[in-house]
């Protein structure tokens, strides 16, 4: 199981407990691969997790960077009004994750350094999520859900 598949319910369980209230903002730095070709896949997996955590669907995605730059920054507006800044960054040394979820009644911070075996498989987001991000990279503009 890829690390992100493991992380999604770990965080989701904490949200379900209700202590921080509904999540309105997700900040994620996912520094999980040195392979620039896997950044879109990593970002798409992050986008899908963020949607589950804020309990909504992305409405618009704007992407900065690209495989050549070594990072993808996603600025996401969700249908319910929540938002996210999701960054898939090429790892230079050890893999690292920094998460900050802002709920209406509190925040959840999670920092981790995944084990190599947790990163052996590639993340497996829906192809549509990857295609959406790749289109946003190509266009250089915010891309709405209907526009992908």
Partner 1 sequence: MAFGVLLVTGAMTHQEGYAAGFRADPRAKVVAVSDEKDVDGRRAGLNRKLAGELGVPYIPDLDDALGRADVDLVSITTEHHRQGRVSIRCAQAGKHVYLDKPLAGNLEEARELERIVKRRGLRSQMFTQVLFPPAQRARRLVASGVLGELRAVHADLLFAKGFADNQPVRPRRENATPNLFLVPDAKREMFNIAVYSLALIRWLSGRKAFRSVRSVTGNYFLAENRVRDFEDFGILAVNLEGGLTATIASGRTGWRSHAGSGHLRTKLIGSRGNLFLDGQAARGELCFEGQTYWRVPAVNKDDPQAFWASSDQRKTGAPEWFLPPLAPNIDQSGFLDALERGREAEVTVSDGVRILEALFAAYRSASSGELVAIS
Q: Which is nearer to partner 1, 100 or 124 (CB)?
A: 100
Residue 127 per-residue DSSP state: H
Contact 134, 61 (CB under 8 A): no
* Beta-bridge mates of residue 109: 100
| H or E element at residue 40 | helix 39-54
Q: Which is nearer to partner 1, 5 or 38 (CB)?
A: 38
Site string for partner 1, 54-83 (x = CB under 8 A): ------x-x-xx---xxx-x-x-x-xxxxx
* Beta-bridge mates of residue 23: 103
**How near is the Cβ of 1 to partner 1 at its closest, in Å?**
25
Q: How far apart are CA 139 and CA 143, in angstroms?
A: 8
Site string for partner 1, 80-109 (x = CB under 8 A): xxxxxx-x-x-xxx--x-x-x-x-xxxx-x
Task: Please report, in angstroms and rounded to a whole number, the separation of the first and last CA atoms in the chain.
Answer: 29
Q: How far apart are CA 5 and CA 20, in angstroms?
A: 22
Q: Which is nearer to partner 1, 12 or 70 (CB)?
A: 70
Binding site for partner 1 (CB under 8 A): 21-22, 24-25, 27, 29, 31, 60, 62, 64-65, 69-71, 73, 75, 77, 79-85, 87, 89, 91-93, 96, 98, 100, 102, 104-107, 109, 111, 140-142, 144
């Amino acid at each position: 199981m890829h690390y992100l598949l493991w992380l999604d319910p770990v965080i989701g369980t904490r949200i379900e407990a209700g202590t921080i209230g509904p999540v309105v903002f997700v900040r994620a730095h996912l520094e999980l691969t040195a392979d620039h070709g896997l950044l879109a896949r990593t970002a798409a997996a992050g986008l899908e997790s963020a949607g589950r955590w804020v309990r909504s669907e992305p409405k618009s995605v704007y992407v900065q960077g690209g495989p050549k730059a070594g990072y993808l920054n996603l600025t996401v507006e969700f249908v319910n009004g929540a938002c996210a800044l999701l960054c898939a960054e090429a790892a230079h040394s050890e893999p690292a994750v920094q998460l900050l979820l802002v709920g209406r009644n509190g925040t959840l911070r999670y920092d981790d350094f995944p084990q190599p075996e947790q990163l052996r498989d590639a993340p497996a987001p829906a192809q549509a999520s990857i295609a959406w991000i790749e289109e946003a990279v190509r266009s250089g503009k915010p891309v709405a859900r209907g526009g992908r």
